[in-house]
Structure 1
Amino acid sequence: MDALTLLKSRNSAARLCAPGPDDNALAEIFASASRAPDHGRLRPWRFLLVRGDALSALGELFADAAQERDSSVNEADLLRCRQQPLRAPLILVVIACISEHPTVPRIEQQLSAGCAAYGALLAAEALGYAGIWRTGANAFDQIVHRGLDLESHEEISGFLYLGTRGGQSKPLPELAQTDFMKEWRQ
């Protein structure tokens, strides 16, 4: 698949199954992610790889965080939290590593981490896998941050659920350029 076709056809896959990317595919995915725009060459991102039994442990962490956010959460909701990471054979937690820098503002570092995440999604798709970028309350929860050993200058940009697409791709609406682009003239 050529690059433009990939860029125009990639879409999120809510249903993912095994197999997920193996170590060779992950090396390609990380190499692609590392080419994200990076003002100052700060590499303001890192990835946590979650697979195997760690997926269940992440689910427990999500349930603990949900219970801390709302002590009245019911058992069905806690079970749903525990099962969230089991929706894919592999999750990459994308972490933005924000530093105080004289010429690279926080937003550029956050966007660079987002570009690294998108590069990972594109590479996974190019390798025949699929994925979906999820955030939600867990991405911003301090219990989750502590459980994943994030440092005080780090934040979660998203959880990339990766695996093999289960089912057909959902159709994406075609957008006219005029829907999102205007030309500025003086």
Structure 2
Amino acid sequence: MPDPSSLSRPAGPEHPPMNATTVSPIESLLTRTSLAGAFMKPPAPSDAELEQILGAAQRASDHGRLRPWRFQVVRPEHYEVFFDRLAAAATRVSGDPSRYEVNREKYRLTARAPLLIVAGAKIDTAHKVPAIEQAFAAAGATQLVLNAAHALGYAAYLFSGPGVFDAAFKEELGFGPADHLIGFVCIGTAAGPGKPGPSAEEAIKAGLAHTVTQWQP
């Protein structure tokens, strides 16, 4: 079991992210947290590390072995165009043209992350595996991306927003009407502690009390 005192260790420059060489696998899972792209800096994972991160996603629970998850890597040199299109998509969904600049400014902060991964679910509507189970599998694969990034010592964050529901934006990314955009994973090195929040130990304790019950007939 991990040292309970380590679970309350905050992220930040004075407490660098833990990595696979210093912690056990279970401690890595218990201490995973989210850090918004605005609080990230280079370096991003190397190509070899990125292959490990996306490789971990391939081990998701997958009814029917359909591999419904899809990941697209977006590099910083393409951020300007990508976030322009995402802001436009979010604006179309909201129906308020004045929201474009607000959305775009928000994504400028997100663009501090040195790597972005688009996560989606490609649904095979003709297969006997229900569409919702395929979507669940893709969501599980996305969580494994977050877990693997943390295990390698990187900060990671999943965000979505109204743009994921825009049909035109989905189509640009190769997703059809039956498919889902899960969101966007920012990965990088922690530049600061981010927003204050409960320690991992506190979050786990509160979560267990709120979400776990014992079934009885």
**TM-score, structure 2 as length reference:** 0.78
1:35 equivalent in structure 2:
59
Is residue 95–residue 154 contact of structure 1 (8 Å, CA) maintained in 2? yes
Is residue 20–residue 163 contact of structure 1 (8 Å, CA) maintained in 2? yes
Structure 2 runs not aligned, ≥5 long: 1-22
Distance 1:179 1:44 in 2: 31
Is residue 56–residue 85 contact of structure 1 (8 Å, CA) maintained in 2? no
Distance 2:120 2:178 in 1: 10
Distance 1:132 1:82 in 2: 13
Q: What percent of counterpart residues are identical?
A: 32
Distance 1:22 1:141 in 2: 32
The DSSP-based 3-state class of the residue aligned with 2:129 is: coil
1:2 equivalent in structure 2:
24
Choose the corresponding residue for 2:97, options 61, 69, 72.
Answer: 72
1:1-150 matches, cutoff 5 A: 1-14=23-36, 15-69=39-93, 70-73=95-98, 76-83=101-108, 85-150=110-175
Relative distance call for 1:137 and 1:149 in structure 2 (3 A) is same
2:16 equivalent in structure 1:
none
Deviations 1:25-62 (Å, cap 9, x if unpaired)?
A: 11101110100000110001110100122111111102
Distance 2:104 2:68 in 1: 34
Distance 2:125 2:173 in 1: 22
Distance 1:160 1:139 in 2: 13
Displaced runs of 4 or more, over 4 A = none
Relative distance call for 1:136 and 1:111 in structure 2 (3 A) is same
Relative distance call for 1:93 and 1:184 in structure 2 (3 A) is same
Q: Structure 2: which amino acid aligns with 1:149?
A: G
Give the root-mean-square deviation of aligned CA atoms.
2.0
The DSSP-based 3-state class of the residue aligned with 1:95 is: strand
Cα distance, 1:124 vs structure 2: 0.6
Distance 1:36 1:24 in 2: 20
Q: Structure 2: which amino acid aligns with 1:164?
A: T
Q: Structure 2: which amino acid aligns with 1:107?
A: I
**TM-score, structure 1 as length reference:** 0.89
Corresponding residue pairs, total:
186
The DSSP-based 3-state class of the residue aligned with 1:164 is: strand
The DSSP-based 3-state class of the residue aligned with 2:64 is: helix
1:183 equivalent in structure 2:
214
Structure 1 runs not aligned, ≥5 long: none
Question: Does residue 1:166 correspond to 2:191, yes or no?
Answer: yes
The DSSP-based 3-state class of the residue aligned with 2:79 is: helix
